[in-house]
Structure 1
Amino acid sequence: MKFVLDTHSHTIAGGHAYSTVIEMAKVASDKGLELICITEHGPAMPGGPHEYFFGNLRVIPDNIYGVEILKGVEANIMGYDGKLDLSEKYLEKLDVVIASLHEICYPGGSVEENTEAMINAIKNPYVNIIAHPGNPRYPIDQEAVVNAAKKYGKILEINNGTFMGSRKGSYENCLNIARLARDYGVMLSLGSDAHIAFDIGRFDKAYEVIREAEVPEDLIVNTSVEKFKRCLKSRFNEK
């Protein structure tokens, strides 16, 4: 399986990453990637950029070193209602919107409450991808989340950074989510979650999950720019 794009990465603008957009694009080009998504954390993350930052992403070229650059956000889910930390005014201008749970922004709850938070984020028409849904800190009804992703046409992520020490104990959750996605025909993305340029396009651990889960290539968005953009659909239809 050949991967040509990375859906999830962070630059120095995010407050706890260490490379610039140009550096990320250069490494992506050297690795043969065709597209990368720059998805800084939303403003509720300590050190994250102000919302004005997301309104000015248009100044970044659409193509750097031959790599297409999609401008986006990894928005924080703030509560059980699925509310995000970036307003619609800015979400609607972005190429891609990832939503995720982080300890610093969301305290966590019961399985039912965490599931409610994630499904409500899935229902948000601006959200494209749910990042690291297998995080064991936030136990969920995995089948309910996968079903919601199917119903609303959203992508679920297998996050490579998860297996680099940031979310220990995630493997079995991610494996089960991948198997459910396979069974229900839900699209998956492999996100490097790179916080330094060297990790852009790194999917070695995430690939182990989808390989063990026997997920077919047609359900992996990273194998085709056209396929990925079809999953983003309305954003590119409007441009």
Structure 2
Amino acid sequence: MDLVIDVHNHTIVSGHAYSTVQEIAAEASRKGLKMIGITDHGPAMPGAFSSSFIGNLSILPDFIYGVEVLRGVEANILDQSGKLDVPERRLKRLDVIIAGLHDACVRPWDTKGNTLALINAMENKYVDIIAHPGNPAFQIDKEAVVLKARETNTLIEINNGSFYSKSRFGSKDNCYEIARLCKKHEVSIIVGSDSHFSFEVGRFDKAIKLLEDVQMPEELIMNTSVDKLKKYLIKKGKERYGKQANTD
């Protein structure tokens, strides 16, 4: 399986990652990726940047070392209403927005509360991807989340880092169940490395095995084609691709 996109990457700006934008792009180029996202944590994450950092992402070139660069964020969901830690005026200028629950920002609720937080976050028109929904620290009604993703045209992430992360230990079974539900309900997924060091960019080994095991249809996997992901972002009304949307 050839995956050419990795939109979930963290730089030193996240406060607990160890590479620069340039180092991430160089590694992506070396591995033959066509597109990456720079999606550092929102400001509620301890050690992360202020929201002004997001406003300055516009200085990044569209391509670095031949790899197309999406300007983004992994916003933190702060409550059961789905509130994010990044203001709308910032979100509307970004190319890709990932939203996720992190125990460094909120304490897990019960299954109902965690599910509500994700479902309500998907009501935000700027949210494109739900990060690592298999995290066992935040148990959810998986089918309810997948069905909401279908309703709101939100991508469900299969997070390769969750198979290795000590903080999300025990994600495997949840990720498999979520993937099977996405296949059942024809909900598109996107694989993310969740890299916190440049060598991890494009590391999809465990996620690929999962997709092969569940026989996920290629048309539901966003990472296989830049054009496929761009068409999705156009439908989501991303400012960067607005001119293209008007001509298609």
Shorter-chain TM-score range: over 0.9
- 1:219 maps to 220
- 1:158 maps to 158
Q: Any conservation in 2 of the 1:188–1:220 contact (CA below 8 Å)? A: yes
Residue deviations 1:140-179 (CA, integer Å, cap 9, x gap): 1100000000001000001011111331111111001000
- Is the counterpart of residue 58 in structure 1 residue 58 in structure 2? yes
Task: Identify which range, 74-83 or 166-175, moves more after superposition.
Answer: 166-175
Superposition TM-score, scaled by structure 2 size: 0.94
- Is the counterpart of residue 238 in structure 1 residue 242 in structure 2? yes
- Separation (CA, whole Å) in 1 of partners of 2:158 and 2:14: 21
Which amino acid in 2 is paired with 1:185? Answer: E
Q: Any conservation in 2 of the 1:154–1:231 contact (CA below 8 Å)? A: no
- Separation (CA, whole Å) in 2 of partners of 1:145 and 1:30: 36
What RMSD over aligned residues (CA atoms) do the two structures have, in Å? Answer: 0.9
- Separation (CA, whole Å) in 2 of partners of 1:67 and 1:110: 41
- 1:44 maps to 44
Structure 1 residue 231, shift from structure 2 partner: 1.9
Which amino acid in 2 is paired with 1:132? Answer: H
- Separation (CA, whole Å) in 2 of partners of 1:227 and 1:66: 19
Which amino acid in 1 is paired with 2:134? Answer: G
- 1:209 maps to 210
- 1:89 maps to 89
Superposition TM-score, scaled by structure 1 size: 0.98
Which amino acid in 1 is paired with 2:121? Answer: A
Structure 1 residue 130, shift from structure 2 partner: 0.2
Task: Identify which range, 229-238 or 136-145, moves more after superposition.
Answer: 229-238
Structure 1 residue 237, shift from structure 2 partner: 4.2
- Separation (CA, whole Å) in 1 of partners of 2:73 and 2:165: 23
Runs of 4+ in 1 over 4 A off after TM superposition: none
- Tell me the secondary structure at the aligned position of residue 90 of structure 2: helix
- 1:26 maps to 26
Gap runs ≥5 in structure 1 = none
**Equivalent runs, 1:32-181 vs 2, <5 Å:** 32-166=32-166, 167-181=168-182
Which amino acid in 1 is paired with 2:118? Answer: M
Structure 1 residue 213, shift from structure 2 partner: 1.4
Residue deviations 1:99-156 (CA, integer Å, cap 9, x gap): 0000011211111111000000111100000000011111111000000000010000
- Separation (CA, whole Å) in 2 of partners of 1:237 and 1:66: 19
Q: Any conservation in 1 of the 2:40–2:72 contact (CA below 8 Å)? A: yes
- 1:228 maps to 229
Q: Any conservation in 1 of the 2:11–2:18 contact (CA below 8 Å)? A: yes
- Separation (CA, whole Å) in 2 of partners of 1:110 and 1:90: 31
- Separation (CA, whole Å) in 2 of partners of 1:174 and 1:73: 22
Which amino acid in 1 is paired with 2:123? Answer: K
Gap runs ≥5 in structure 2 = 244-248
- Tell me the secondary structure at the aligned position of residue 157 of structure 2: strand
